[in-house]
Structure 1
Amino acid sequence: MSTAVASPSPSTPDDAPPRDAASVVLIRDGAPGLQVLLLRRHQNSRVLGGLYVFPGGKVDADDAAPEWAALLDQPPAGLPARLGEPALTPAAAQALFVAAARELWEEAGVALVDAPLPRATDEPAEAAHSWRTRLAQAGARLTTAALRPWSRWITPRNPPVGTPRFDTRFFLACLPRGAQARHDAFEASDSAWMTPREALTRYWAREIELIPPQLMGLAQLARHTDVASAWAEAADRVPPCIQPEQFRDGEHRAMCYPGDERHPVRARALPGPTRLRLVEGRFEPFDGFEGWFR
């Protein structure tokens, strides 16, 4: 399997601002160590069809609705600081937390709430307002404390895999006790728990397809042996903002990240490689597979 290089969607001009999105890096402690949940998007999906991703999606207008305030475990006013983005309005920060939790519920069946939340069986994917209504009816609140901001990725112009541009906040979350993740069979066709190294190994063998935000996130998680270690790291730093810079490496497209000599941001933001190149449909570190772990 290989990631096809495509042109940006004609409905999303290259100069259009990126759309806000939220994604959840769901982790658990397993027998082989820390494991992360990956979902395979349906092959016919318009965005990232066939690729393995973390649960997530676009922010909806309803995610910023003032009615959510009564269903959160903390006031929206405190959420911009949690994100490390004090310039955000409380409503905009709320929308990112709500979207992350909503997408995790819709795509993986995992509810980050403080009371049991029955899942409907008559809808493959639920609208935001339906989910909000269900929380209210169950007397449950969304536990924003279960979402720890992890990183922010802004899709570059003319992205190598031809997706629309997104401004995505990634959140770390631990699988709640007693919960079981399962893909929705609507937006995703498969799901798997893997250690970060296993996922990167399977990617290198072309068994699964991934894109740079997931690849670099897995490289970062590979430094941790258990959930507690990753959770503590997320608590101790401001989530880095990653804006890849593209360049040519001979015949190959390549991109670099903060800390690379070609990137305008000199301070390193993430462990792992500071540049990747696209070779025969696969993003790879310049120094090969072990570059993910150096």
Structure 2
Amino acid sequence: MELNHDIIDTPPRDSASVVMLRDSADGLQVLLMRRHTDSAVLGGAYVFPGGKVDAADSAPEMLALLDRPMAELHARVAEPALTPEQAAAFYVAAAREAAEESGLLYLQVGAAEIAEHSAATCERLRAGESFAALLAEHGARLDTDALAPWVRWITPRRPSVMNKRFDTRFFLAAVPPAQEARHDDFEVTEARWLTPRQALQQYRAHEIDMAPPQIVSLLHLMQYRDVAHAMADARSRTPPLIEPQPADTAETRVLCYPGDEAHSVPARALPEPVPTRVVWRNKRFEPPQGFGPYLD
């Protein structure tokens, strides 16, 4: 993954991402999906399922299928500048992208029924059928209760790894019961369930590629014992805003986050011991002291 040094003046595009979790014998695991190498956004990198918010995500027929009032979802997102419709659209986009890329449906219907139809429904969604029409066909509502707003990342004007900007709301979600992830093999070519430690070890060993939001998010996820702990934490606080700011040295590229001495926001956005900066070293972004204190 090569660094990009261009200044981008265009506003960031609204997007949503789902950090899918499950418990395992090895501990908390997260779903990482490898984007197609030809993708214009993070091609070849391992990411969380997600994508841009579409106009259809806030269409009246889609918003009518939410399991909660839009005002309640607006309060959960905790962004006064958004309208309730805009806040609700992030939930829809997160669930839709999860279905398209991972084949997992977050719907308010019996778990067995969803599992029975999830593969066929997601294939139809990938083929271009309306998400709202597919939900209505099953008599289902979107399970927004399963999606917990976790953190908001805004790509800096001088982005670290790509030439597009996004304003992404990350949601935590447990993998739906009785369903199995099935990547689309188009936008996404591989899916891996890994503990945060395993994912970072593979990244350090140059076995997989990732961008800073995923790296820092995995360091954050290492602080959770299990899915219940992660979900409870996300639901107990306002999602923090992270706008990385560069603080390059003569030797390397540095990205700083709130709470760092070089960042304009003095208060930490993420809990300790998550680092407040990452540095570009050996063709990898890593904490200033390396991954050793976290992984060894």
TM range (shorter): over 0.9
Could you tell me how far 1:70 is from its partner in structure 2? 2.1
1:114 matched to which residue of 2?
Answer: 108
Q: How far apart are the structure 2 equivalents of 1:92 and 1:122? A: 27
Q: Which amino acid aligns with 2:63?
A: A
1:289 matched to which residue of 2?
Answer: 291
Q: Which of 37, 43, 46 is the equivalent residue of 2:37?
A: 43
* Percent identity over paired residues: 53
Could you tell me how far 1:126 is from its partner in structure 2? 4.2
Could you tell me how far 1:68 is from its partner in structure 2? 1.8
Confirm or deny that 1:98 pairs with 2:96. no
2:150 matched to which residue of 1?
Answer: 150
Q: Which of 13, 18, 26 is the equivalent residue of 2:12?
A: 18
Q: Which of 52, 58, 70 is the equivalent residue of 1:76?
A: 70
1:275 matched to which residue of 2?
Answer: 277
Q: How far apart are the structure 1 equivalents of 2:46 and 2:178? A: 25
SS at match of 2:268: coil
SS at match of 1:80: helix
1:184 matched to which residue of 2?
Answer: 184
Of 168-177 and 84-93, deviating more is: 84-93
Q: Is the 8 A contact 1:276 1:286 kept in 2?
A: yes
Cα 1:293–1:66 change in 2 (3 A) is farther
SS at match of 1:23: strand
Cα 1:191–1:32 change in 2 (3 A) is same
TM-score by length of 1: 0.93
Could you tell me how far 1:158 is from its partner in structure 2? 1.8
SS at match of 2:130: helix
Cα 1:264–1:6 change in 2 (3 A) is closer
Q: Is the 8 A contact 1:124 1:186 kept in 2?
A: no
Q: How far apart are the structure 1 equivalents of 2:239 and 2:125? A: 33
1:227 matched to which residue of 2?
Answer: 227
1:4 matched to which residue of 2?
Answer: 2
Structure 1, residues 157-216: CA drift from partner, whole Å, max 9, x if none? 121212300000000000111111121101100000000011011100110001111111
Q: Which amino acid aligns with 1:194?
A: L
Q: Which of 42, 56, 76 is the equivalent residue of 2:50?
A: 56
Q: How far apart are the structure 2 equivalents of 1:252 and 1:144? A: 42
Q: How far apart are the structure 2 equivalents of 1:39 and 1:220? A: 18
Structure 1, residues 138-171: CA drift from partner, whole Å, max 9, x if none? 1011011110000000000121212300000000
SS at match of 1:81: helix
2:162 matched to which residue of 1?
Answer: 162
Listed as ranges, the gaps of 5+ residues in structure 1 are: none
Q: How far apart are the structure 1 equivalents of 2:225 and 2:100? A: 29
1:257-268 pair list within 5 angstroms: 257-268=257-268
Structure 1, residues 32-68: CA drift from partner, whole Å, max 9, x if none? 0100000000111111000000000000011011112
2:173 matched to which residue of 1?
Answer: 173
Q: How far apart are the structure 2 equivalents of 1:58 and 1:192? A: 22
SS at match of 1:248: coil
The number of equivalent residue pairs is: 287
TM-score by length of 2: 0.92
Q: How far apart are the structure 1 equivalents of 2:126 and 2:247? A: 39
Q: Is the 8 A contact 1:97 1:144 kept in 2?
A: yes
Of 269-278 and 21-30, deviating more is: 269-278
Listed as ranges, the gaps of 5+ residues in structure 2 are: none
Q: Which amino acid aligns with 1:285?
A: P
Q: How far apart are the structure 2 equivalents of 1:255 and 1:167? A: 17
Could you tell me how far 1:248 is from its partner in structure 2? 1.2
Q: How far apart are the structure 1 equivalents of 2:127 and 2:80? A: 31
